[in-house]
Structure 1
Amino acid sequence: MSRRDLTGAVDFGVLDHTTGGDDAVAEEILELFVEQAALWSRLLDEPEARRDACHTIRGTAAGLGAQALADACAIAERDPAQIHIDRVRDELDRALADVAAWRHELMLRSLRA
């Protein structure tokens, strides 16, 4: 994966603004996002935890620049029906794919430095 594999699910300009363009900090944030996504996926399977999971994902997604994921979470937070949870999962998968491509790009940048 590389920059050409980005789908647009994540606006990395938001992350660059948040990190001040510091690639090391960006990598740390993205690593945490990937680790937490595994936990969130399990919580989305539990009906009693779905609202809280969507709330947490929504805030993180907005801070990362994954607006479609944040929007899907806002809907699912209000109505955690399976159809909305499925959309959250789809958007989370799209965001994770973009994160993987961006992390690859960050790794390539570090090799050039």
Structure 2
Amino acid sequence: MPRRTKDSVKELARIRSAIAGLVLAGTISLESAATHLATTPRTLQRRLSNHGINFWALVEHNRFEIASALLRETDLKVQEIAARLGYGTPSTFARAFTRWSGHSPNAYRTAHANRFPVGE
């Protein structure tokens, strides 16, 4: 298990935040993340590896977190969410979301609808 220092925790938070922003912008790649963080792709991979994290696993985690929030909290169409997350087609996004959650995007939205009614 990697030793976690205060600085390494801050570094990981900064990397996670940058990757989440790039995922939401639909422009994620190892190269774009490294450029955004003013480092090289190999250094970024090494830093994540020091934390026991794989770049693409982190990207997928962020995509799921963002997609599930958008499905729960907005009325955006699945096609719009797919496009925002950088998927070429809604069906590719739907397959990935089903793999992550065990439910299609529409089934997930229905299951989580009105969980937190306004005013409570």
Q: TM-score, normalised by structure 1?
A: 0.32
Higher relative contact order structure (alpha carbons within 8 Å, sequence separation ≥ 6)? 1
Q: TM-score, normalised by structure 2?
A: 0.31
Please say which structure displays the higher CA radius of gyration. Answer: 2
